[in-house]
């Protein structure tokens, strides 16, 4: 009896978790930790494509018989996220893509050449830090794809617990960096708790008064934080991104929308029904009219992606950040419209 696509999906996901768990259980085996963890991520991304249709993971002309027998070439790691974005319309951040690409580069060095690693605790800490960053972004994808991976929540939680136990390997790095972090604090630097490794080792830099860019000294995780002033209770609160395009003040629990957050971060009020150049969208998270100008930068209040330049579509006249220069947008459109198109005649 031929396998159903659901069976192929579950087999692929289970294989992915086998690799991820092996990498997490023995982080001191640097070669296996890097190769297995990256392979697990690759298989999860392929599983997401497979869930939509088996042909999406095939490189070249799809052949159902070859696919079912396993005698086909699957697409390369570097092509997975672009295909998920393009074929499924899924939003995967550039930060996640860059993190996964870096891990793939380390894996390729180990498989095809060698990697500058060693057996000392600091080197192990670097491997664990890389796993923490990779898991941070992979876990966010699992949260977004909850229904798709609903039959695998137990293994997701098990892996999360195993990785948390590995935090002891980061202690060596943190201890070495303590004097450097203290010196930065003494010179006025602001230090935050890193969302990836949970150490208070993320150094903050002001992009504008209400937007902070932080980078962790221990695991190199980068993040952006917004500081809003609640219009209801007049207390300040921080957030990393908006869930479901709204947020509640942690002090008074009043809920605020995208337009509220633009105002509370210090931006001008824009009427979304005016159209024209005043409407600026975010291609990074597909946020509609979610971008506000703060001083000299344009910030999406949903995902906190920012740029110093807005590109405008020559067809729909709306602006966007995160989508490049929008060349030929009159014909081809932007990330939020199809453009005029090309006449058949």
Determine how many CB atoms are found less than 10 A away from the CB of residue 172: 18
* pLDDT, tens only, 126-172: 777 888 888 989 998 999 999 999 989 999 999 988 887 777 777 87
Distances (CA, A) of 175 to 24, 171, 193, 292: 22, 6, 15, 40
Listed by start position, the domains of the chain span: 5-168, 172-224
- The Cα 12–Cα 26 span in angstroms is 22
Residue 239: strand pairing partners: 226
Distance from C-alpha of 212 to C-alpha of 313, rounded to nearest angstrom: 29
Nearest to 264 by CA among 298, 306, 232: 232
- Quote the pTM value: 0.70
pLDDT value for 173: 78
Determine the pLDDT at residue 1: 34
Whole-angstrom distance, CA of residue 220 vs CA of residue 129: 8
In order, the DSSP letters of 67-122 are HHHT-SPBPPHHHHHHHHHHHH-----HHHHHHHHHHHHHHHHHHHS-----SSHH
Residue 301 tokens, joined:
């209040």
Which has the closest alpha carbon to 164: 45, 7, 13, 24? 24
Q: Using CB atoms within 10 Å of the CB of residue 344, give its burial: 0 to 12 exposed, 13 to 18 middle, 19+ buried.
A: exposed
Task: Give, for all 345 residues of the chain, the pLDDT tens digit.
Answer: 345 666 889 999 999 999 999 988 877 787 888 899 999 999 999 999 999 999 999 998 988 888 888 888 999 999 999 999 999 989 898 889 988 998 898 888 878 776 655 555 666 677 778 888 889 899 989 999 999 999 899 999 999 888 877 777 778 778 888 999 999 999 999 999 999 888 999 999 999 999 999 999 988 889 999 999 999 999 999 999 888 788 999 999 999 999 999 999 998 765 555 544 479 999 999 999 999 999 999 999 999 999 999 999 999 999 999 999 998 999 999 999 999 876 555
State the Cα–Cα distance between residues 106 and 116, nearest whole angstrom. 9
Task: Give the pLDDT of residue 276.
Answer: 44
Distance CA 210, CA 299 (A): 10
- The enclosing H or E element of 123 equals helix 121-144
Answer whether 231's CB lies under 8 Å from 225's CB: no
Predicted pLDDT of residue 161? 86
- Residues 298, 315: Cα–Cα separation, whole Å: 21
How many CB atoms sit inside 10 A of residue 32's CB? 17
Closest CA to 142 of 163, 157, 127: 157
Query: How confident is the model over 77-109, as pLDDT tens digits?
Result: 999 999 999 999 898 988 899 889 988 988 888
């Amino acid at each position: 009896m031929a396998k159903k696509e659901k069976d192929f999906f579950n087999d692929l996901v289970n294989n992915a978790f086998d690799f991820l768990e092996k990498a997490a259980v023995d982080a001191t085996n640097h070669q296996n930790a890097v190769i297995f963890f990256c392979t697990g991520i690759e298989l999860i991304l392929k599983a997401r494509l497979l869930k939509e249709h088996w042909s999406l993971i095939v490189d070249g002309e799809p052949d159902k018989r070859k696919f079912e027998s396993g005698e086909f070439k699957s697409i390369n790691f570097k092509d997975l996220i672009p295909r998920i974005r393009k074929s499924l319309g899924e939003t995967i951040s550039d930060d996640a893509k860059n993190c996964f690409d870096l891990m793939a580069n380390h894996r390729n060095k180990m498989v095809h050449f060698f990697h500058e690693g060693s057996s000392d605790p600091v080197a192990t800490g670097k491997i664990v830090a890389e796993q923490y960053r990779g898991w941070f972004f992979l876990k966010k994808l699992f949260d977004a794809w909850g229904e798709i991976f609903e039959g695998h929540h137990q293994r997701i939680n098990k892996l999360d617990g195993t990785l948390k136990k590995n935090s002891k390997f980061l202690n060596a790095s943190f201890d070495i960096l303590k004097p450097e972090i203290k010196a930065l604090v003494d010179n006025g630097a602001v230090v935050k708790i890193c969302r990836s490794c949970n150490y208070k080792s993320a150094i903050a830099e002001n992009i504008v008064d209400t937007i902070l860019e932080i980078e962790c000294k221990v695991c190199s995780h980068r993040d952006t934080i917004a500081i809003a002033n609640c219009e209801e209770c007049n207390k300040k609160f921080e957030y990393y991104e908006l869930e479901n395009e709204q947020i509640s003040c942690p002090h008074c629990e009043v809920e605020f929308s995208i337009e509220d957050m633009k105002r509370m971060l210090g931006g001008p009020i824009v009427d979304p029904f005016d159209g024209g150049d005043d409407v600026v969208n975010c291609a990074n998270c597909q946020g509609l009219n979610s971008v506000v100008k703060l001083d000299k930068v344009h910030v999406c209040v949903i995902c906190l992606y920012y740029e110093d330049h807005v590109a405008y579509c020559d067809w729909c006249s709306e602006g966007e950040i995160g989508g490049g220069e929008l060349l030929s947008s009159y014909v081809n459109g932007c990330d939020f419209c199809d453009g005029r198109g090309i006449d058949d005649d």
